[in-house]
Structure 1
Amino acid sequence: MPKAKLSQIYDIAIVGGGPSGRIAALTLAQNGFSCVLVAPRSTIKDGRTTALWQRSIELLQEIGVWDELANTACELKKMRMIDDTGRLIRAPEVVFDSAELGLEVFGFNILNHELNKILEKHCDAHNNVADLDDSAAQVEFGDETALLTTKSGQTIEARLVVAADGRNSVLRETAGIPVRRWSYPQVAVVLNLEHRLPHQHISTEFHTPTGPFTLVPLPGRQSSLVCVETAEGAEALLSLEDHELEFELERRAHSILGRLSLASKPQSFPLSGLTAQTLVKDRLALVGETAHVFPPIGAQGLNLSLRDVLDLSGVLLAARMKHQDIGREAVLKAYDTKRASDIRSRTNAVDALNRSLLTDFLPVQAARSISMHLAERVGPFRRMLMREGLAPGSAFRFGR
């Protein structure tokens, strides 16, 4: 892999080896910024998956990685929501069809370990990315540059640091950026399944009293599952023998995909949320889960993070054209302003949907049911929801 020329001053140091950090490095490097990526190599095979919407796919095409990723991804053409709460006030089944927006697909579902592997390969090969297999230990933010020290003792100087080092970010904490954290009384059980019947590229989300039970297509006759449960319910699921778990998941899926068998080991994650009070300080910009975290509901997480990358890249390009210092907080404030509404609306929407499933308060159940009725019966409202789900503010240009 390319070795970082640590004697030079980089335009941008990106810290974090997840998809957000690596995509940020490739995007900024392609736009002509000299970049160093400080990120440890992934050593764990992540069995989870990520659904990527059209604008995210466009970004991956722009940085030259999509053709390789497409071979391992599965098209998502329809999204079906089913009320499985069993409560007094229930909503109708709603199907969102990409063809209604003039699109062949909403997006694609891909295994995280395939995404990470291909992104690592492209970061290694990019001439404008010095890829350093290391982690940031500390950072000093100076008047003209930031000085990073890695765990191995190397030092890196850059005009701007992009923090993509996750919810427990060292860089965000060092910069003194406050965060709001919250938690839910839920745990997500995540695994991949093989099934007898074809999924027909339809993602199905059952709304249950403990949270969503979501099956998302993978290549062939496989799907990924996110099952949101109480802590006790998750523990009970994870304690089952494989054949017992398969039977229980098929029961919860109402056998829509036929007989199920495990294709990966179950993983579990407590549900929580986080938002940073600001995304910028002098010499620092936050992206991805360093800036915002919410439950894996509605496939919004990485798509929101990639919109961070797009908006940050646009702000930095504009600053360079004006010969401005790209690391100054006054310049970076434009990025913070651009992202505020999108992050707030996505966080609130996911939080509201999740909490509406947990409550027994009849007015909340009625409001959710009315919204689903409108989505099923009123075409313009349904299409508006689809557009907003893919691109906030309807900025995305849909087909006719």
Structure 2
Amino acid sequence: MREFDIAIVGAGLAGSLAALALSDSGRSVALIAPPARAADGRTTALMDQSIAFLKTLGLWDDIAPQAAALETMQILDGTARLLRAPPVAFRSGEVGLNAFGYNIPNAPFIEALDARIAANGNIVRVANGVTVASSFENGVELVLDDGERVLARLVVGADGRKSKIRESAGIGVRTWSYPQAALVLNFSHDRPHGNVSTEFHTESGPFTQVPLPGRRSSLVWVLPPREATRLCGLSESALGQAVETRMQSMLGKVTVEGGAQNFPLSGMTADRFGKGRVALVGEAAHAFPPIGAQGLNLSLRDIMALKDLLQTAEPTAYDGIGDRFDRKRQADIRSRTLSVDLLNRSLLSDFLPVQFLRSAGLHLLSALGPLRSIVMREGIEPGGSFKAFRDTLRERVARKQA
């Protein structure tokens, strides 16, 4: 039986990033997952805090050539409802940043991660799935699908929504679904996007264009499932025309690249995010619609929190890390999940008071710079607005004392 200090189960973006992040902890690390990956044409928007974390892992230089800066994020009301909201533009310069973050295609992101992991002598890659995990006093025993048994003092479950690690730890989940599907594709266009991401709020959900390098963008279009299926079945030229019409030809002629993918929308949160010697990260812990660029950013904060816990723990102390991790992640995960859910449901609601509140909120954001700044900082980094306020006070006090 092989033994490791830490075993990460699942080698998607969250699991691979967790393995790299924990590989410099002085502990032995195994990354356990089958080698095959499905082709992924999606992109991921990472905010400034997440980009800074990638830099600490030495990954950013590998990924940057494939990424596009998000300098402006604008919201446009694309509904035909009685109560419509004004346009709202969030500019990174308002909070002292060159960009809020960057949009990165998943395929080259995963390739860069795989290459870094293969070259990292502190990570042992185990190309098998896990069938069951059993907790004992001295660790967690993992039974692999080839019959091998592995003992780990700490197990990080990064094995997705149907997590075997979560199930084996006896952690329940709350799930829900939406009457929506996400149509995901990449496209080229005649006009430059100027590093501006545009989100149209429609009656069926958001239609979000996000820049890619050059005159290219990615799209997440939330629709009724039947409509998403219909559009997926169109020729690329017909689908490009539908996209161009929906975004009012803002970027000129649209040419769809490589077809579209269609995903039903649902949500899930684990009842707890850690237990004993088990910690859950990424979609093993939380999943929600691709709205507001929160998914992988939230997963990276899971990894940052776990890394911090391990840095402050004794090298041989693993028992109870899962419980401490759970307490540390509750507020962030619950609040982000609730905010994304409320935003999505507000777009679907025909109830006039709900439409009024959404419209009034966007009016305030459009008119009040300080409020817009708070929202921007919180979107980039939880607690960011409080930190900025605290730093401003310190600077003022220092100037007065000088």
TM-score for the superposition, normalised by structure 1: 0.95
Partner-residue secondary structure (3-state), 1:71: helix
Counterpart residue identity of residue 381, structure 1: L
Shift, 1:288, TM fit: 0.5
Shift, 1:195, TM fit: 0.4
Counterpart residue identity of residue 30, structure 1: D
Distance change >3 Å, CA 209–CA 79, structure 1 → 2: same
Provide the C-alpha distance between the structure 1 equivalents of 2:6 and 2:179, rounded to a whole number of angstroms: 39
Structure 1 partner of 2:56 = 62
Structure 2 partner of 1:3 = none
Shift, 1:108, TM fit: 0.5
Unpaired runs of 5+ residues, structure 2, are 393-402
Distance change >3 Å, CA 16–CA 396, structure 1 → 2: farther
Check if 1:192 corresponds to 2:186: yes
Distance change >3 Å, CA 89–CA 246, structure 1 → 2: same
Provide the C-alpha distance between the structure 2 equivalents of 1:385 and 1:112, rounded to a whole number of angstroms: 27
The range that moved more, 147-156 or 257-266, is 147-156
Counterpart residue identity of residue 312, structure 1: L
Q: Residues 32-91 of structure 1, C-alpha deviation per residue, up to 9 Å, x if partnerless?
A: 221000022243321000001111111111111111111111111010100011100011
Shift, 1:153, TM fit: 2.1
Provide the C-alpha distance between the structure 2 equivalents of 1:45 and 1:383, rounded to a whole number of angstroms: 38
- Percent identity among equivalent residues? 48
Provide the C-alpha distance between the structure 1 equivalents of 2:327 and 2:38, rounded to a whole number of angstroms: 36
Q: CA RMSD in A?
A: 1.5
Check if 1:294 corresponds to 2:288: yes
Provide the C-alpha distance between the structure 2 equivalents of 1:232 and 1:42, rounded to a whole number of angstroms: 30
Provide the C-alpha distance between the structure 2 equivalents of 1:32 and 1:201, rounded to a whole number of angstroms: 40
Alignment of 1:24-103 (within 5 A): 24-103=18-97
Provide the C-alpha distance between the structure 2 equivalents of 1:395 and 1:129, rounded to a whole number of angstroms: 37
Q: Residues 126-156 of structure 1, C-alpha deviation per residue, up to 9 Å, x if partnerless?
A: 1111012221122111111111121122221
Q: Residues 148-170 of structure 1, C-alpha deviation per residue, up to 9 Å, x if partnerless?
A: 12112222111000000000001
The range that moved more, 122-131 or 184-193, is 122-131
Structure 1 partner of 2:220 = 226
Alignment of 1:281-320 (within 5 A): 281-320=275-314
Q: 1:244 aligns with which of 238, 241, 249?
A: 238
Shift, 1:174, TM fit: 1.1
Partner-residue secondary structure (3-state), 1:265: strand
Shift, 1:396, TM fit: 8.8
Check if 1:335 corresponds to 2:347: no
Structure 1 partner of 2:356 = 366
Q: Residues 226-285 of structure 1, C-alpha deviation per residue, up to 9 Å, x if partnerless?
A: 000001211221222222111111000110110000112200000000000111122211
Counterpart residue identity of residue 325, structure 1: A
Counterpart residue identity of residue 348, structure 1: L
Provide the C-alpha distance between the structure 2 equivalents of 1:292 and 1:226, rounded to a whole number of angstroms: 20
Provide the C-alpha distance between the structure 1 equivalents of 2:298 and 2:161, rounded to a whole number of angstroms: 15
Question: Conserved in 2, the CA contact under 8 Å of 1:186 and 1:231?
Answer: yes
Provide the C-alpha distance between the structure 2 equivalents of 1:142 and 1:205, rounded to a whole number of angstroms: 49
Check if 1:132 corresponds to 2:126: yes
Provide the C-alpha distance between the structure 1 equivalents of 2:282 and 2:386, rounded to a whole number of angstroms: 20
Q: Residues 328-374 of structure 1, C-alpha deviation per residue, up to 9 Å, x if partnerless?
A: 23x43221111111111111111111000101100000000111011
Counterpart residue identity of residue 243, structure 1: S
Partner-residue secondary structure (3-state), 2:80: coil
Provide the C-alpha distance between the structure 2 equivalents of 1:215 and 1:336, rounded to a whole number of angstroms: 34
Shift, 1:389, TM fit: 0.5
Unpaired runs of 5+ residues, structure 1, are 1-5
Count of matched residue positions in the alignment of Structure 1 and Structure 2: 390
Question: Conserved in 1, the CA contact under 8 Å of 2:205 and 2:344?
Answer: yes
Partner-residue secondary structure (3-state), 1:392: coil
Provide the C-alpha distance between the structure 2 equivalents of 1:133 and 1:78, rounded to a whole number of angstroms: 41
Question: Conserved in 2, the CA contact under 8 Å of 1:55 and 1:396?
Answer: no
TM-score for the superposition, normalised by structure 2: 0.94
Structure 1 partner of 2:111 = 117
Provide the C-alpha distance between the structure 2 equivalents of 1:332 and 1:79, rounded to a whole number of angstroms: 36
Provide the C-alpha distance between the structure 1 equivalents of 2:95 and 2:304, rounded to a whole number of angstroms: 23
Q: 1:19 aligns with which of 13, 36, 41?
A: 13
Alignment of 1:378-393 (within 5 A): 378-393=368-383
Q: Residues 94-122 of structure 1, C-alpha deviation per residue, up to 9 Å, x if partnerless?
A: 00000000000111101111111111111
Question: Conserved in 2, the CA contact under 8 Å of 1:30 and 1:63?
Answer: no
Provide the C-alpha distance between the structure 2 equivalents of 1:213 and 1:260, rounded to a whole number of angstroms: 15
Question: Conserved in 1, the CA contact under 8 Å of 2:276 and 2:323?
Answer: no
Provide the C-alpha distance between the structure 1 equivalents of 2:203 and 2:5, rounded to a whole number of angstroms: 49
Partner-residue secondary structure (3-state), 1:30: coil
Partner-residue secondary structure (3-state), 2:128: coil
Question: Conserved in 2, the CA contact under 8 Å of 1:197 and 1:258?
Answer: yes
Shift, 1:31, TM fit: 2.4
The range that moved more, 277-286 or 378-387, is 277-286
